[in-house]
Amino acid sequence: MKLSVVSRSGREIIRGGIEINDQATVSDLQNAIHKRNKKYYPSRQRLTLPVQPGTQGRPVVLDPKKSLRDYFDGNTNNVTVVFKDLGPQVLYSTLFFWEYLGPLVIYPIFYYFPVYKYFGYEGERVIHPVQTYALYYWCFHYFKRIMETFFVHRFSHATSPLSNVFRNCAYYWTFGTYIAYYVNHPLYTPVSDLQMKIGFGFGIICQVSNFYCHLILRSLRSPSGNGGYQIPRGFLFNIVTCANYTTEIYQWVGFNVATQTVAGYVFLVAATFIMTNWAIAKHRRLKKLFDGKDGRPRYPRRWVILPPFF
Ligand SMILES: NC(=O)c1ccc[n+]([C@@H]2O[C@H](COP(=O)([O-])OP(=O)(O)OC[C@H]3O[C@@H](n4cnc5c(N)ncnc54)[C@H](OP(=O)(O)O)[C@@H]3O)[C@@H](O)[C@H]2O)c1
Length of the chain counted residue by residue:
310
Q: Give 105-131 pLDDT, tens digit per residue.
A: 999 999 999 999 999 998 888 999 999
The rounded Å distance from CA 198 to ligand 1 centre is 27
* Cα 43 to middle of ligand 1, angstroms: 20
Atom of ligand 1 nearest to the CA of 244: 45
Maximum Cα interatomic distance, the chain, rounded to a whole number of Å: 79
Q: Summarize pLDDT for 7-58 with one digit per residue, the tens.
A: 988 899 999 899 998 889 999 999 999 999 999 999 999 999 998 877 777 8
Ligand 1 atom nearest 229 alpha carbon? 32
H or E stretch covering 211: helix 193-218
**Atom of ligand 1 minimally distant from the CA of 157:** 39
Name all residues whose Cβ lies below 6 A of ligand 1: 145, 153-157, 210, 217, 220-221, 229-230, 232, 244-245, 248, 271, 274-275
Secondary structure (H, E, C), 71-105: HHCCCCCCEEEEEEECCCEEEHHHHHHHHHHHHHH
Nearest to 83, CA basis, from 152, 143, 37: 37
Atom of ligand 1 nearest to the CA of 278: 15
222 has pLDDT over 90: no
pLDDT tens, position by position, 226-274: 778 999 999 999 999 999 999 999 999 999 999 999 999 999 999 999 9
- pTM, rounded to two decimals: 0.90
- CA distance readout (Å), 42 to 45, 171, 219: 5, 29, 28
**What's the 305 CA to ligand 1 centre distance in angstroms?**
13
